[in-house]
Structure 1
Amino acid sequence: MGKKQDTTEPTLECAEDFKPSAPIATGTLPRHGNRPPKTNFHGHIVDVDENESVPSAPPLELMDNVIGYETVSFEAISVPPPLYDMESPDADVSNRDILPNCPQVTEQEARTALLSLVAEHCCYGRDAAKEMAITKINYSSAFHYQLHSFTEKRETSWAYIPYGGGEVDGIENGAPPLPWEIEVYPDALFEDEVKLIPVPHTASVKSCHRCKGGGSLLCAECHGKGWVRCLSCHGDGWSKSTSGYKERCFYCHSSTHGHGRQDCLKCNAKGRVPCPTCDNYGQIQCFIQLTVSWKVNSAEHIVERLSLPEDLVKSVSGQVAFEEEAHQVLPIGHFPDETINMASTQIVHAHAQAFADQKLIRQKQVVRIIPVTEIHYRWKNKNSTFFVFGFENRAYAPDYPQKCCCGCTIL
Structure 2
Amino acid sequence: MEGSYYGTVDQPHQMGHPSQPMMNAYPGVNTMYAPPPSQPMGAAPFVAPVNPYPNNLNSNFAAPHYPPVGMDNPSVPLLSAGALGPTAPSSDMFGPVPGYEGMNTGDNSGRFLPPPPPALIPGPARPSPENAEWAIPNITEDAAKEAFLQYAKESCCYGTSAAKEMVFKEFNPFNTYRYRLETFTEARAFDWQIKPFDGHSTDLGAYGPPPQPWDIPVPCSTLFKDDEKKMPVPGTSSVKTCPQCMGIGKTVCTKCAGTGRVKCTWCHGTGKHVDDEQCSTCSGNGTESCRSCSGAMQCCEGCSGKGKVVNYIQLTVTWRNNIFEFVADHNSDFPTDNFKKVTGEKIFTDEQHLVPPLVTFPKQSINKASQDGQNEHYSKFNSTSRILKQRQTIELLPLTKVNYTWKGNPYSYFVYGRENKVYTTNYPQKCCCVLL
TM above 0.5, yes or no, is yes
Which of 148, 153, 165 is the equivalent residue of 2:199? 165
2:322 equivalent to 1:291: no
- Equivalent residue runs for 1:94-133 within 5 Å: 94-95=128-129, 97-98=131-132, 100-133=134-167
Percentage identity across paired residues of the two chains: 37
State which drifts further: 62-71 or 186-195: 62-71
Q: Deviations over 1:296-338 (max 9, x none)?
A: 1111111233222223222123210111100000112222221
C-alpha RMSD of the superposition: 3.2
Which of 171, 192, 215 is the equivalent residue of 2:226? 192
Q: For 2:162 and 2:311, locate their aligned partners in 1 and report how far apart those are by CA, in whole Å.
A: 73
2:93 equivalent to 1:62: yes
The alignment partner of 2:326 has SS state of strand
Q: Which runs of 5+ in 2 are unaligned?
A: 1-82
What amino acid maps onto 1:376 in structure 2?
Answer: N
Instruction: Tell whether the 8 Å contact from 1:150 to 1:189 is kept in structure 2 after alignment.
Output: yes
The alignment partner of 1:128 has SS state of helix
Q: For 2:268 and 2:395, locate their aligned partners in 1 and report how far apart those are by CA, in whole Å.
A: 77
Q: For 2:91 and 2:409, locate their aligned partners in 1 and report how far apart those are by CA, in whole Å.
A: 76
| Distance change >3 Å, CA 207–CA 114, structure 1 → 2 | same
- Equivalent residue runs for 1:44-83 within 5 Å: 58=89, 62-72=93-103, 73=106, 74-83=108-117
Q: For 2:376 and 2:297, locate their aligned partners in 1 and report how far apart those are by CA, in whole Å.
A: 58
What is the aligned partner in structure 2 of residue 21 from structure 1?
Answer: none
**Offset of 1:138 from its aligned partner?**
0.9
Which of 282, 287, 292 is the equivalent residue of 2:307? 282
What is the aligned partner in structure 2 of residue 137 from structure 1?
Answer: 171
What is the aligned partner in structure 2 of residue 362 from structure 1?
Answer: 389
**Offset of 1:265 from its aligned partner?**
1.3
Instruction: Tell whether the 8 Å contact from 2:95 to 2:101 is kept in structure 1 after alignment.
Output: no
2:426 equivalent to 1:399: yes
Which of 361, 365, 369 is the equivalent residue of 1:343? 369
Q: Deviations over 1:361-400 (max 9, x none)?
A: 0001111112111111233443232111222222222112
Q: For 1:357 and 1:60, locate their aligned partners in 2 and report how far apart those are by CA, in whole Å.
A: 32
Instruction: Tell whether the 8 Å contact from 1:373 to 1:389 is kept in structure 2 after alignment.
Output: yes
| Distance change >3 Å, CA 352–CA 232, structure 1 → 2 | closer
**Offset of 1:252 from its aligned partner?**
6.7
Instruction: Tell whether the 8 Å contact from 2:84 to 2:243 is kept in structure 1 after alignment.
Output: no
Q: Deviations over 1:28-75 (max 9, x none)?
A: xxxxxxxxxxxxxxxxxxxxxxxx9659x9566532222221112421
What amino acid maps onto 1:174 in structure 2?
Answer: G
What amino acid maps onto 1:117 in structure 2?
Answer: Y
Which of 355, 359, 369 is the equivalent residue of 1:329? 355
What amino acid maps onto 1:331 in structure 2?
Answer: P
| Distance change >3 Å, CA 60–CA 95, structure 1 → 2 | farther
**Offset of 1:84 from its aligned partner?**
4.0
Instruction: Tell whether the 8 Å contact from 2:114 to 2:384 is kept in structure 1 after alignment.
Output: yes
Q: For 1:375 and 1:234, locate their aligned partners in 2 and report how far apart those are by CA, in whole Å.
A: 72
TM-score (norm 1): 0.75
Q: For 2:235 and 2:133, locate their aligned partners in 1 and report how far apart those are by CA, in whole Å.
A: 57
| Distance change >3 Å, CA 61–CA 310, structure 1 → 2 | farther
Q: For 2:343 and 2:267, locate their aligned partners in 1 and report how far apart those are by CA, in whole Å.
A: 74
Q: For 2:374 and 2:89, locate their aligned partners in 1 and report how far apart those are by CA, in whole Å.
A: 44
Q: Which runs of 5+ in 1 are unaligned?
A: 1-51, 254-258
The alignment partner of 2:365 has SS state of helix
The alignment partner of 1:173 has SS state of coil
Q: Deviations over 1:231-273 (max 9, x none)?
A: 77999x9x9xxxx9x9xx97579xxxxx997442111x33211
Instruction: Tell whether the 8 Å contact from 1:318 to 1:371 is kept in structure 2 after alignment.
Output: yes
**Offset of 1:76 from its aligned partner?**
1.1
Q: For 1:387 and 1:127, locate their aligned partners in 2 and report how far apart those are by CA, in whole Å.
A: 18
Rg larger in 1 or in 2? Answer: 1
| Distance change >3 Å, CA 100–CA 229, structure 1 → 2 | closer
